[in-house]
């Protein structure tokens, strides 16, 4: 075991060295020992980011405007100091909430660095939230300052310090920071001090405010960086929007922990998958992370790329369908590796670059997290049985959040020495397999059905573009499996096609998992981060069954 004192002093230097040399034993030891990291003060920006050797930190590309910028670690540090000094001059103090609401532009990274260095509470906020959704957040945590782009600023109605990137009446121009000094002292932050708050995506209810500390994401992201497999000389790209935890995981902490270069690709509207992959190839990206929705779009392309510098490809957000993994590997010889975590944590379970990945498996737990599977009574389940994913708190993982702003939610999630994630899974000797949210599980007769595996089976049919599966109330079976299906171009809704899809699932899964109701829809409701809102579909289905209603393109399979 590596000397604990040495780890605490040289944690990040040792981690970079171990990752660059792929010293697996040392990586595992560092991830485990990181939970003992408890200095009196810790400011990640001054103690890690600013001590990185002088090199390119950020390559920024705007796909719509064909613009490009390169900023070094020093460039970002100097601009960070200017913004920090401006915020302090305007009266902000340690612990004041600062909302950051911008697209993928350099000011996003600068703002995050400034709030961490200044000991403020950064609240990254998605740009496509509505005014109603913003007001819900402001009611939970009132901003002391807001940094926003021009478009986002039009949706903000709150009396506070407002800084706009561009111009807007009643707002201070971001350009005002340019006259400030480029030297600023770091705030003395204790390990338990709040530095980041995130609102969850709300797949199963109203968004919850998640509280992270000066160490939970900054140190806990060692786990994420190790699963991705970033090295210090890499160019790393992550397809994720600011305002969500995955952006902090993969576009901010993980690459900067390694002293690598981030490629930030901005675009507006819907993703142009070809243009995006063109950019990935043209900049010689080495490590690339994207959500399942993007990977499914990528494999529909001709894929006439070389990707000769692309070494690691990973997916996170929801489990990736094995068929997508197979197509990419057959074409490029690279396995898209899945990993799992939450807004409340860093990456907890994953496939390391040096492991053999089993398609469909989200991997195995990181040494940073003592992950268990528990039954409804809180007892550990055996291999092959579905259980609640829970984190044992005997030695609290450093990447775990401090708690929610709502104490009732804390009571529900932290109990009997465990943190309950709200997700379910099972494991075998080959890895851990995601089943679904605890309240997404469909109980039909005496069986439990996870929506994801049914959705995956449906997606293997050539007619299916997207699918969402929920439980539909049934007087005899409690619930029956229902699928909402978006068809690909050239296919039309019909009973015959619904029957074909149901039979298709029966060929791939056990009969009881096949949908007995299929409804063809033009699109599926999703969160801003792109996750399917099964809770919305489930509520709609419950109301319909109560009223005895049936939609025009809904078919019941006899």
CA 134 from centre of chain = 20
Residue 363 CA: distances (Å) to CA of 230, 374, 398: 18, 18, 20
pLDDT digits (tens, 9 = 90+) for 282-303: 999 999 999 888 998 899 899 9
Percent of the chain at pLDDT > 90 equals 82
The string of pLDDT tens digits covering residues 153-189 is: 999 999 999 999 999 999 999 999 999 999 999 999 9
The average pLDDT across 76-88 equals 98
pLDDT tens for 300-342 read 899 999 999 999 999 987 778 888 899 999 999 999 999 999 9
Prediction pTM value: 0.86
Q: Where are the beta strands (DSSP E) in 267-412?
A: 287-290, 312-315, 336-341, 347-350, 364-365, 371-374, 387-392, 403-404
Does the pLDDT at position 530 exceed 60?
A: yes
Q: What digits encode the pLDDT tens for the residues 105-164? A: 999 999 999 999 999 999 999 998 888 889 889 999 999 999 999 999 999 999 999 999
Which of 302, 296, 300 shows the shortest CA–CA distance to 320?
A: 296
Q: CA-CA distance, 301 to 280, in Å (whole number)?
A: 15
Q: Tell me the domains of the chain and their CATH numbers.
A: 73-214 (3.40.50.980), 440-556 (3.30.300.30)
CA atoms of 554 and 558, how far apart (whole Å): 13
For the cut 70, the answer to whether the pLDDT of residue 23 exceeds it is yes
Tokens found for residue 548: 């005895």
Residue 202 above 70 pLDDT? no
Q: What DSSP designation does 453 have?
A: H
Q: Which are the contacts of 375, defined by CB distance < 8 A and separation ≥ 6?
A: 381, 385, 387, 388
Judge contact between 397 and 368, C-beta under 8 A.
yes
CA–CA separation, 80 and 103 (whole Å): 18
């Amino acid at each position: 075991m590596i000397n604990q004192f040495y780890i605490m002093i040289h944690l990040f230097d040792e981690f970079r060295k171990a990752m660059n040399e792929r010293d697996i034993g040392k990586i595992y030891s560092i991830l485990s020992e990181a939970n003992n990291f408890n200095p009196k003060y810790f400011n990640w920006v001054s103690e890690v980011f600013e001590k990185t050797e002088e090199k390119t930190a950020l390559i920024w590309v705007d796909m719509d405007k064909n613009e490009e910028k390169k900023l070094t670690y020093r460039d970002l540090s100097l601009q960070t100091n200017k913004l920090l000094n401006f915020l302090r001059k305007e009266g902000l103090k340690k612990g004041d909430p600062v909302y950051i609401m911008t697209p993928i532009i350099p000011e996003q990274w600068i703002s995050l660095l400034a709030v961490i260095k200044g000991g403020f509470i950064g609240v990254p906020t998605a740009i496509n939230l509505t005014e109603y959704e913003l007001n819900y957040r402001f009611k939970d945590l009132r901003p002391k300052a807001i940094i926003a782009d021009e478009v986002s600023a039009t949706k903000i109605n709150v009396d506070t310090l407002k800084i706009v990137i561009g111009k807007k009446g009643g707002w201070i121009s971001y350009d005002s920071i340019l006259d400030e000094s480029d030297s600023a002292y770091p705030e003395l932050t204790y390990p338990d001090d709040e530095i980041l708050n995130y609102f969850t995506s709300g797949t199963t209810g109203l968004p919850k405010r998640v509280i992270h500390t000066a160490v939970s994401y900054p140190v806990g992201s060692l786990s994420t960086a190790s699963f991705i497999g970033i090295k210090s000389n890499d160019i790393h790209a992550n397809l994720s929007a600011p305002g969500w935890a995955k952006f902090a995981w993969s576009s901010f902490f993980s690459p900067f922990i390694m002293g690598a270069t981030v490629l930030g690709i901005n675009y507006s509207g819907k993703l142009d998958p070809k243009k995006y992959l063109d950019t990935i190839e043209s900049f010689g990206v080495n490590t690339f992370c994207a959500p399942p929705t993007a990977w499914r779009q990528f494999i529909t392309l001709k894929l006439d790329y070389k990707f000769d510098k692309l070494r690691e490809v990973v997916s996170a957000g929801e489990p990736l369908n094995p068929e997508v993994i197979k197509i990419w590997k057959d074409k490029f010889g690279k396995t898209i590796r899945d990993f799992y975590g939450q807004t409340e944590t860093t990456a907890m379970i994953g496939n390391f670059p040096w492991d053999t990945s089993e398609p469909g498996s989200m991997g195995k737990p990181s040494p940073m997290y003592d992950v268990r599977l528990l039954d409804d009574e809180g007892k550990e389940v055996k291999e092959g049985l579905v259980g609640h994913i829970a984190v044992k708190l005997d030695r609290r993982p450093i990447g775990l959040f401090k708690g929610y702003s709502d104490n009732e939610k804390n009571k529900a999630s932290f109990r009997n020495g465990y943190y309950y994630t709200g997700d379910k899974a099972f494991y075998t000797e080959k890895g851990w397999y995601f089943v679904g949210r605890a309240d997404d599980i469909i109980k039909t007769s005496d069986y439990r059905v996870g929506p994801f595996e049914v959705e995956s089976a449906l997606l293997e049919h050539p007619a299916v573009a997207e699918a969402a599966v929920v439980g539909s109330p049934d007087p005899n079976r409690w619930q029956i499996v229902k699928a909402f299906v978006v068809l690909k171009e050239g296919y039309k809704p019909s009973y015959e096609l619904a029957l074909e899809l149901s039979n298709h699932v029966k060929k791939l899964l056990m009969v009881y998992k096949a949908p007995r109701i299929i409804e063809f829809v033009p699109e599926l409701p999703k969160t801003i981060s792109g996750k399917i809102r099964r809770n919305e579909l489930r509520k709609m289905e419950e109301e319909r069954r109560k009223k005895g209603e049936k939609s025009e393109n809904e078919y019941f399979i006899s």
